[in-house]
Amino acid sequence: MSVSTLAAAPSVCAPLPVLGRDVTVPLVTGGEVAYAALDYAASAPALQRVWDDVAAYAPYYGSVHRGAGYLSQLSTDLFENARRTVAAFLDCRPDDQLVFTRSTTDSLNLLAAALPDDCQVFVFETEHHAALLPWRTARVTCLDAPRSPRQAVETLERALADRDPHGPALVCVTGASNVTGELWPVRELADTAHAHGARIVLDAAQLAPHHPVSVRDLDVDWVAFSGHKLYAPFGSGVLAGRADWLREAEPYLAGGGASRTVTRRADGGVDVRWHDGAARHEAGSPNVIGAYAIASACTALTEAGFDTLVAREEHLIRTVRDGLADVPEVRFLSLFGDDAPRVGVLSFVVEGWNSSHFAAALSAEYGIGVRDGLFCAHPLVRTLLGSDPQSQGECGAPEAAPGEKSLNAVRVSFGAGTPDEHVERFVRAVRELVRDGARWSYRTVDGRCVPDTSA
């Protein structure tokens, strides 16, 4: 498909309004251009609706759960209503518990701190580090990267069949890869886990912004995600699911809010009775604005309709894949194959280019923001790249591990707020860079490839 054909392709629907859509950035070659934010997988821009809701609440800001004044009570109601809104968005079970955290990473570390003694954790090497690394006090089995959804289920089945059937076990799995965008067979993995007496937690950081997530339909025990990937500002996240492990664990943080009563002992120490509900793991003054922002984003996405959002995103994915199909130097990374269902996340390498150099040229010469590197999923990207040669290019090649070639990739990602023009500009830019090379020279500064402005 030619670029002119891409430009003529009709939109499925209009993008949702987001902050930053009118921001212009300078080009190293001269002039300015509207910034094309194509790094949604790292942080999606906040929805204008979310920002407006937060701004409307800001004058009424007050302490939560502790104040008798009107603003404190209003803020408390807002905070708890946000909890109910997010629980409904996730289709939680009536007895599930929803804890507000700082991020997906924080949520999974909270769950890791609540694991029963001698718990065994099963996690694929394909996970983001937020899901791969928190389980330091557990017995961890790291599973090889599967090459199909069926192989993922079969791999987990074999691993669980060999485990000690009498101890607790937890499976941690992503809903959509932050590297390839591919959807994982979450329900089938949950069925497999439960058949072997294990529980399962879903890392929905990349899934929740793009597809509906139903705790009940997927039959997962917990789900974790971040607000900043769901079109809300930084600093808020969610862990929702079974209450028992959370209720029986020591508080994630000790302090006000988590404690029900604190009394002095005769020996000079203190005795504490902790809360049993979500407050047990929400010590300190909560991030009421962050919680409200997540709830606002959940409401906005629900009202927009995921069927509409998915259709638009599939249109944008086709624009990229079809627009670069006749560029043999570009190779997309995939575990399950090019036709596997995915969200708007695509990673690739370009023959003859170091990925850091390519990403720098996209930014400096075209005003396009993408991500390059290993995407906090080092084992997965290394598996996908294997022994593929990576040209050093002009600059930016990261240091490789001993005995390993320089491995990195470019990731383009988009979502509900992405205009067609941004994706079409990306396709044109990739084609031009592959055909003509960069128009500017670049150098390495602090490990990053940047335009050389010394001349």
Residue 250 carries which side chain, given as an amino acid letter?
E
φ, ψ for residue 413 (rounded to 5)? -145, 150
Q: What's the CA gap between 330 and 21, in Å, rounded?
A: 28
Q: What's the CA gap between 314 and 343, in Å, rounded?
A: 8
Instruction: Please check whether residue 123 is in contact with residue 142, taking contact to mean a CB–CB distance below 8 angstroms.
Output: yes
φ, ψ for residue 432 (rounded to 5)? -70, -40
Helix (H, G, I), strand (E, B) or coil at 348: strand
Residue 445 corresponds to which tokens in the numbers above?
Answer: 């500064």
Residue 32 corresponds to which tokens in the numbers above?
Answer: 């300015």
Tell the burial category of 101 from Cβ atoms under 10 Å away from its Cβ (0-12, 13-18, 19+): buried
Pairing state between β 330-332 and 97-101: unpaired
Residue 230 corresponds to which tokens in the numbers above?
Answer: 């769901």
SS3 annotation, 418-445: CCHHHHHHHHHHHHHHHHHCCCCCEEEE
Q: Which residue in the block uniquely carries the two structure tokens 């939560």? A: 64
Instruction: Please check whether residue 347 is in contact with residue 179, taking contact to mean a CB–CB distance below 8 angstroms.
Output: yes
What are the residues facing 99 on neighbouring strands?
239
Helix (H) or strand (E) holding 411: strand 409-413
**C-alpha closest to that of 425 among 310, 348, 320:** 320
Using the 8-state DSSP alphabet, how is residue 18 labeled?
B
Q: What's the CA gap between 381 and 20, in Å, rounded?
A: 30
What are the residues facing 18 on neighbouring strands?
47
Angle between helices 288-304 and 70-89 (to 10 degrees): 40
376 is catalytic: yes
Of 92, 119, 298, 376, which is the active-site residue?
376
Contacts of residue 48, defined as CB under 8 A and 6 or more positions apart, other chains included, come to 16, 17, 18, 19
Query: How many residues does this entry show for the chain?
Result: 455
Using the 8-state DSSP alphabet, how is residue 36 labeled?
E
Instruction: Please check whether residue 433 is in contact with residue 358, taking contact to mean a CB–CB distance below 8 angstroms.
Output: yes
Active site residues: 376
